[in-house]
């Protein structure tokens, strides 16, 4: 433990040089801007800026790229809260309560709690990274296809329980998302499925198009059909003293932040899109343990604080499998792996001994980066919150322009814009009939991984479904899934009996 602290101190010396501080600052600023622009998420952001790091030494390059990563994750929450447009996947859940808070004139506290929660979660994540990296990385290795499959099933049920009012509707949407996720090449055999002769569909349905369509365009279309007088109206304008969270807001949020940080750190070690799962799991837990679960979905600050902290914490712990095992479990860390290889660094068990400066320097820079983000973003809260002063009849066309531009920049593809518009219309209809978009979106992301895990598990067991209950970790997840399905039913029955009694 003492040795780790010594190494961390060395890391701070490396990250604290003027040059590295500057790159960390640039990364955090550029990342925030990228996150704020809908469509250009951390993946596209890091990919676009890798060439800019060619002239730098590996440590400075990774410090800057890591800064873009967590800066974008923070920036993504800003558009979620203000415009209901998730800048990246992990911000989808922030839309639920963050946007509702903004509609009630509480965009400032929502944005500020994101920055504060992210910083606290970042601090916890840093210590977790330093002290728990080696043993936790080993634990993550115990996850095989059956465990992974059960974990994802658990995630779906959890998500379906937390979103909307009808479990059946949420499960239907998750299944529709999984079906859409099967479009393209079979991840195991490489055969084409549901492509109807289109080369575009071979690559599958672009996730960003679905996300922006369902949430961004869908929301805009819902607004457009409102009468003229409503379009002239501005969203409730926050007073200056309402721009920052009150003491009561902080009191309400602190436990959620700490829980979110813990959940995010744990989930970040598991293969898969960790920040997405972490945010959903955190939201679900916050709603389950809240004394006022009915406030969730209507602007509960805990519904923003918990998931945003989980998001940040998961981003940090996702560096453990990347650095220690050389295995990226999420797309942004996969791009970072590419950047490391470009700079001649091979991540793996020998990274810490061969490149201690890089490993500890990057870890220390993450903490500095989180601090920079807090300092940068808190003063900008009023500026961001005031975006809502723009009348809807001007704001809505602006959102559409940014959505179309952002969508095109992801793959330089016009068909992606068509898909976005199609899902925009679907999102509009789903809102009309009270169907949630979040389960569909998560299913679309996790679908291919779920299928691979499912088919690999059956291959391992020679077609025996017992593999999912014979392995302890998998069984625990499945048991938890069953409990999540049964408990609400038991509660409902008891309530009914009490009423009748």
- Positions touching other proteins (CB under 8 A) are 40, 48, 166, 168-169, 171-172, 175-176, 178-179, 182, 186, 188-189, 191, 193-194, 221, 224-228, 231, 392-394, 396-398, 400-402, 404-405, 408-409, 412, 414, 417-418, 421, 425, 433, 435, 451, 454-455, 458-459, 462-463, 465
Nearer to other proteins, 213 or 260 (CB): 213
Longest dimension (CA), the chain: 76
Q: How far is the CB of 370 from other proteins (least distance, A)?
A: 24
Q: Rounded to an integer, what distance in angstroms lies between the CA atom of residue 345 and that of residue 149?
A: 32
Contact 282, 310 (CB under 8 A): yes
Q: How far is the CB of 411 from other proteins (least distance, A)?
A: 11
Nearer to other proteins, 97 or 436 (CB): 436
Q: How far is the CB of 48 from other proteins (least distance, A)?
A: 7
Q: Rounded to an integer, what distance in angstroms lies between the CA atom of residue 278 and that of residue 442?
A: 12
Nearer to other proteins, 169 or 259 (CB): 169
Find the helix or strand (DSSP H, E) in which 271 lies: none
Contact 181, 444 (CB under 8 A): yes
Q: Which residues contact 475 (CB under 8 A, 6 or more apart)?
A: 150, 468, 469
Q: How far is the CB of 404 from other proteins (least distance, A)?
A: 7
Nearer to other proteins, 3 or 191 (CB): 191
Q: Rounded to an integer, what distance in angstroms lies between the CA atom of residue 2 and that of residue 6?
A: 6
Q: How far is the CB of 213 from other proteins (least distance, A)?
A: 11
Q: Helices 145-162 and 438-460: crossing angle, nearest 10°?
A: 160
Nearer to other proteins, 143 or 428 (CB): 428
Q: How far is the CB of 181 from other proteins (least distance, A)?
A: 9
**Residue among 268, 277, 260, 334 nearest 152 (CA):** 277
Nearer to other proteins, 190 or 379 (CB): 190
Contact 201, 418 (CB under 8 A): no
Q: How far is the CB of 398 from other proteins (least distance, A)?
A: 7
Nearer to other proteins, 375 or 429 (CB): 429
Q: How far is the CB of 121 from other proteins (least distance, A)?
A: 29
Contact 66, 28 (CB under 8 A): no
Q: How far is the CB of 493 from other proteins (least distance, A)?
A: 15
Nearer to other proteins, 328 or 427 (CB): 427
Nearer to other proteins, 57 or 166 (CB): 166
DSSP state letters, 188-252: TT--EES-TT-HHHHT---HHHHHIIIIIIHHHHHHHTS-HHHHHSPP-PPPGGGSS--HHHHHH
Contact 485, 156 (CB under 8 A): no
The CA–CA distances, whole Å, from 84 to 279, 439, 465, 479 equal 16, 16, 41, 35
N-terminal to C-terminal alpha carbon distance within the chain? 59
């Amino acid at each position: 433990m003492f040795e780790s602290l010594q190494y961390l101190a060395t890391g701070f010396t490396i990250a604290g040089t003027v040059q590295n501080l500057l790159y960390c600052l640039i990364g955090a600023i550029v990342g925030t801007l990228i996150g704020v622009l809908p469509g250009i998420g951390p993946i596209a952001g890091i990919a676009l800026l890798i060439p800019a790091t060619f002239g730098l030494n590996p440590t400075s390059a990774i410090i800057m790229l890591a800064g873009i990563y967590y800066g974008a994750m923070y920036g993504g929450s800003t558009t979620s809260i203000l415009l209901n447009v998730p800048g990246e996947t992990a911000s989808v859940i922030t839309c639920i309560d963050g946007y509702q808070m903004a509609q009630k004139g509480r965009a400032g506290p929502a944005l500020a709690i994101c920055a504060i929660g992210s910083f606290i979660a970042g601090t916890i994540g840093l210590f977790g990274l330093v002290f728990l990296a080696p043993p936790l990385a080993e634990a993550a290795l115990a996850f095989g296809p059956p465990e992974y499959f059960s974990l994802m099933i658990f995630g779906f049920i959890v998500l379906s329980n937390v979103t909307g009012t009808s479990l059946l509707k949420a499960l239907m949407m998750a299944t529709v998302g999984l079906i859409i996720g099967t479009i393209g090449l079979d991840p195991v055999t490489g055969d084409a499925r549901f492509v109807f002769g289109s080369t575009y569909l071979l690559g599958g349905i672009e996730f960003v198009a679905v996300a922006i369509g369902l949430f961004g365009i869908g929301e805009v279309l819902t607004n457009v059909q409102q009468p003229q007088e409503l379009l002239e109206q501005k969203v409730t304008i926050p007073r200056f003293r309402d721009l920052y969270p009150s003491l009561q807001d902080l009191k309400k949020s602190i436990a959620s932040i700490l829980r979110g940080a813990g959940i995010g750190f744990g989930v970040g070690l598991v293969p898969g899109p960790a920040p997405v799962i972490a945010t959903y799991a955190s939201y679900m837990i916050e709603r389950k343990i809240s004394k006022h679960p009915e406030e969730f979905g209507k602007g509960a600050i805990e519904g923003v604080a918990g998931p945003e902290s989980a998001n940040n914490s998961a981003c940090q712990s996702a560096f453990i499998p990347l650095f220690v095992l050389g295995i990226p479990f999420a797309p942004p860390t996969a791009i970072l792996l590419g950047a490391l290889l470009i700079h001649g660094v091979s991540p793996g068990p020998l990274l810490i001994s061969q490149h201690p400066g890089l490993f500890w320097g990057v870890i220390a820079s993450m903490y500095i980066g989180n601090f920079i983000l807090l300092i940068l973003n808190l003063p900008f809260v009023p500026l961001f919150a005031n975006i809502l002063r723009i009348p809807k009849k001007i704001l809505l066309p602006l959102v559409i322009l940014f959505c179309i531009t952002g969508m095109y920049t992801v793959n330089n593809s016009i068909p992606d814009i068509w898909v976005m518009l199609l899902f925009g219309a679907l999102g509009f209809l789903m809102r009309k009939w009270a169907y949630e978009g979040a389960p569909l979106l998560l299913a679309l992301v996790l679908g291919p991984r779920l299928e691979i895990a499912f088919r690999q598990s059956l291959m391992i067991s020679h077609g025996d479904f017992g593999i999912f209950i014979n392995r302890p970790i998998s069984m625990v997840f499945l048991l938890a899934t069953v409990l999540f399905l049964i408990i609400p039913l038991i509660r409902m029955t008891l309530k009914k009996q009490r009423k009748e009694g």
